[in-house]
Amino acid sequence: MNESKHPVFIAFQANNDTLPIVNAITRDNPLAIVNEMPAMVKIDCPGRLVIKRSSIEEEVGREFDLQELQINLISLSGEINEDDDEFTLSWN
């Protein structure tokens, strides 16, 4: 398991599609810090940030494919590990 505390981040366009995604991320990552800027929301987290399909589905009330994140994604930093259920950013 990684021990890094260096920040990873993911940023989305600030809109109605991403609000439930941001909510799901903050629920699953207690250390995440949400930085709101004009038109953009940037979420920083030390070491590791996980985005869970099931949490987003609970928020949006429908099935969600994690590749849909691409549509409103602005940028990210960290090594990516993606499968059908989780999208993870982390540093070693």
**Residues near another protein, by CB under 8 A:** 4, 6-9, 11, 13, 37-40, 42, 67-68, 70-84, 91-92
Shortest Å distance, C-beta 64 to another protein: 14
84 is written with which tokens? 């059908």
Nearer to another protein, 30 or 83 (CB): 83
Nearer to another protein, 34 or 80 (CB): 80
In the block, tokens 């070693």 appear at 92
Dist CA 19 CA 81 (whole Å): 23
Q: How is 33-69 classified by DSSP, letter by letter?
A: EEEEETTEEEEEEESEEEEEHHHHHHHHTS---GGGH
The tokens of 11 are what?
Answer: 């940023």
